Amino acid sequence: MRVTGRETLCAGLDEAVRAGDAAAVAQQVKSTLQTMLRDGPLPLDEHFREPRADTYARRLFHRDPEGHYTVVAMTWGPGQGTALHDHAGIWCVECVVDGRMEVAQYDLVGRAGDSYRFEERTRVTAGVGSAGCLIPPFEYHTLSNARPDGPSVTLHVYGGEMDHCHVFEPVGDGTWARRRRELRYHE
């Protein structure tokens, strides 16, 4: 029986989720993704690479039958990105598969009722093979396609099913308002 790249990736992720606490798991997942990318392109069919005109595409690549993780491929057209958001308390590893992404990390520095204050900590342009771990409470960030002339593709491994997150919208006085956003997969 021939083993596919997808099976190799999933076997590596199955092993990684047994690494212990969230930080150890995320580091092992990151290592698995980066190793696979060093060995060649990740096994993504063409439909995972197709951008959408209206928003970045979010497509389910794999769901662990035991519920330990999900793998989501995201395709970003020129100019597409996210609002400042969290991951609803779920760890995540994000990896650039094709193109370039701008990633900005934020720290929550204050909260009063429904008003949140954030400070940007880092902003990087990540290329193919770059990966980062988001482990709550250090999960606030934005992502955007850094290629003005074509799509970029990222792979996200979540510690469960991420069916919602919270987005933060600037109010105008230096604070941000939090809103729950339901997430779905695209075809």
Please name each of the domains of the chain with its CATH number.
45-182 (2.60.120.10)
Q: What is the pLDDT of residues 139-152, one digit of tens each?
A: 999 999 999 999 99
CA–CA separation, 81 and 96 (whole Å)? 14
Q: What is the pLDDT of residues 58-84, one digit of tens each?
A: 999 999 999 999 999 999 999 999 999
Is-contact 155 43, C-beta < 8 A?
no
CA–CA separation, 112 and 116 (whole Å)? 7
CA–CA separation, 108 and 112 (whole Å)? 12
Report the length, in residues, of the chain.
187
Indicate whether 118 pLDDT > 90: yes
- Which helix (DSSP H) or strand (DSSP E) does residue 106 occupy? strand 101-112
pLDDT at 4: 57
pTM of the model: 0.93
In the chain, the percentage of residues whose pLDDT exceeds 90 is 82
How crowded is residue 100: how many other Cβ atoms within 10 Å of its Cβ?
A: 18
Indicate whether 128 pLDDT > 80: yes
